[in-house]
Structure 1
């Protein structure tokens, strides 16, 4: 699930685009546990704006105990939800072109050199956990 797309979608559904943190957390939990449909939908929307950073780009503001979507945030959300056929003839603009701001201040994260090693360790831990669970259930 793409957290930032989900935040934009939730805030856009609230009156005035403002939600207190309790409501936002509740809605996030509901969507996160709703199954693979929501995760797939947010992933497809996020592909259209790959450099999305809702706070530093001014798409969401933190206001007195909650968050509010800005007009820039609504514009980016509308762009992401536009029909794919309407986007085919042109190259989709970056977030910076869509909302008319300076380039994102946060550089993209680099992939760690030991990624394969971490993957092997993760698989080993999962296998050990499964084996312990089988041994405990017998």
Structure 2
């Protein structure tokens, strides 16, 4: 939900509208809803509405906090300046995810500098206490 394009797509002709979108998928058999939002530069009201009745939400977990890219030394920009809301901090998504009624709330799209790539990192416990998990490779999610 951002008009900011990735560097590799800066030259593509795609209009002035949103570049990043979330996918909302409803299973016609049982009505269950999954929302996949792997790159969030903002958390607009439209996203809130899309998540309100979701059974499972996958959200952008690229960066743990806003300063991670600077601290890791690969960018002079913060996470939000790079087009990713961080998990923690004043603009963090963890609180918003925790408030959702979804049965499953998972972070995906972790950068290799995100401390959550370490299964033993304390952040996993903190997120678990809020009912949030980190998506694992090849995991099967059943609702």
Output the TM-score relative to the length of structure 1. 0.24
Q: Which has the larger radius of gyration?
A: 1
Structure with higher strand content:
2
Per residue, is there more helix in 1 or in 2?
1
Per the normalisation by structure 2, the TM-score is 0.23
- Report 1 or 2 for greater relative contact order, CA contacts < 8 Å, sequence distance ≥ 6: 1
